[in-house]
């Protein structure tokens, strides 16, 4: 290379370096986030974050109740398998998205996708595909990210916000702590992209600080993901029907509406908690006691939902100090079930098994 070419390249390099030196701080300043209150972060996330278009890959940690737990006739929804180590998310809007569950070898284990009011799931293990129409309020309220509405936290949670970085992106971290000290909740933390408030993950800890559930972005790309968000088309189609009780539960829990005329086997109170909403449909009934992080759901079924336990028998255990109650807990969420006059009653909430069993004994026995 002759001296003239070398000199030209060196001059251009020096100029580029100088330009980067002077413009670099401006670029950093441009992406620097301004401090915001927790209420403001949540309001922005609620208004725009759920509708943001993006693609992202996230780490996945699940130490909640066993991965294959399904509450028959109520929560018959796809639950990630225990082998899932990461997830890919492609979202056009809250009504159009695709979630892929991957194992440690990055092989797709399952897919859950939504296209307007149609929910499509695929399980690689059995090559099954389910195409379902989302009924009632589920079609309106259920989005991929469980971002709480601002009014749902009022008086129940202490909230703080700070600026951080997730996947190399300036972000807001929103942390929730229950005001009540008698639940098993530790903290719930959400991360939101600083510009569009797109969700970058969330994490749940118990009172000891142990992580029981978490997803956090490692890569993030804003913008419409295009065909990547399309529902799966492979697999043998099998039938699936959501219980009307599930639709009613979604309505009650998301809107907080009161319901008159509850089934007679639901007492007015459960320990210190007053009965709020209650529904019965096709022999299955649901009641909600209390509100906020200490809320307890009670399911009553004519059929013995846990009688043929199958996998359930591997994790349900006798509740200490109780003769007929069985249950399980993960440190944040407990389930207690028992027979009652030919029905089976199941309590679910962020309380200890012993506490739920004590309240059940007082209310039903």
- Domains of the chain, residue spans: 38-237, 244-364
122-158 in b/e form (b: 16+ CB < 10 A) is bbbeeeebbbbebbebbbebbbbbebbebeebeebbe
Residue indicated by tokens 């059929």:
303
Say how far apart CA 205 and CA 178 lie, in whole Å: 12
- Look at 300 and 51; give whichever has higher pLDDT: 300
Taking the CA atoms of the chain, what radius of gyration do you get in angstroms? 24
- pTM, two decimal places: 0.74
Mark 76-90 as b/e (b = at least 16 C-beta within 10 Å).
Answer: ebbbbbeebbbbbbb
Instruction: Tell me, yes or no, if the two domains 38-237 and 244-364 fold the same way.
Output: no
Q: Which fold has domain 38-237?
A: outer membrane lipoprotein receptor (LolB), chain A (2.50.20)
103-130 tens-digit pLDDT: 999 999 999 999 888 889 898 888 999 8
Cα dist from 149 to 40, 198, 330, 336, whole Å: 12, 15, 26, 29
Q: What is the pLDDT of residue 142?
A: 52
Class of domain 244-364: alpha beta
Residue pLDDT, tens place only, 144-200: 777 777 777 778 889 999 999 999 999 999 999 998 888 899 999 999 999 999 999
């Amino acid at each position: 290379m002759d001296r003239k070419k070398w000199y030209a390249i060196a001059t251009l390099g020096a100029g580029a370096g100088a330009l980067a030196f002077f413009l670099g701080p401006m670029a950093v300043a441009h992406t620097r986030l301004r401090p915001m209150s927790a209420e403001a972060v949540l309001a922005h996330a609620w208004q725009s974050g759920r509708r943001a278009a993006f693609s992202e890959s996230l780490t996945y940690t699940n130490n909640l109740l066993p991965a294959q737990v399904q509450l028959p006739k109520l929560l018959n929804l796809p639950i990630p398998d225990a082998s899932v180590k990461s997830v890919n998310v492609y979202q056009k809007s809250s009504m159009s998205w695709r979630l892929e569950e991957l194992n440690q070898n990055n092989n797709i284990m399952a897919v859950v996708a939504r296209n307007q009011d149609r929910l499509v799931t695929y399980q690689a293990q059995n090559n099954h595909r389910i195409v379902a129409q989302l009924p009632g309020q589920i079609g309106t309220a259920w989005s991929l990210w469980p971002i709480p509405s601002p009014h749902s936290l009022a008086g129940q949670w202490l909230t703080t916000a700070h600026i951080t970085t997730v996947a190399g992106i300036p972000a807001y971290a929103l942390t929730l702590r229950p005001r009540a000290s008698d639940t098993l909740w530790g903290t719930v933390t959400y991360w939101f992209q600083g510009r569009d408030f797109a969700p970058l993950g969330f994490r749940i800890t118990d009172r000891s600080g142990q992580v029981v559930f978490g997803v956090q972005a490692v890569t993030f790309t804003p913008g419409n993901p295009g065909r990547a968000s399309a529902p799966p088309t492979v697999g043998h189609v099998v039938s699936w029907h959501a219980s009307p009780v599930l639709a009613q539960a979604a309505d009650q829990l998301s809107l907080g509406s009161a319901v008159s005329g509850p089934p007679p086997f639901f007492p007015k109170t459960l320990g210190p908690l007053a009965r709020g909403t209650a529904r019965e449909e096709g022999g299955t009934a649901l009641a909600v006691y209390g509100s906020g992080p200490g809320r307890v759901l009670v399911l009553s079924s004519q059929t013995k939902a846990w009688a043929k336990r199958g996998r359930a028998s591997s994790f349900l255990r006798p509740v200490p100090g109780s003769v007929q109650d069985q249950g399980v807990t993960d440190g944040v969420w407990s389930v207690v079930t028992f027979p009652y006059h030919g029905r089976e009653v199941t309590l679910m909430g962020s309380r200890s098994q012993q506490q739920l069993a004590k309240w059940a004994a007082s209310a039903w026995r």
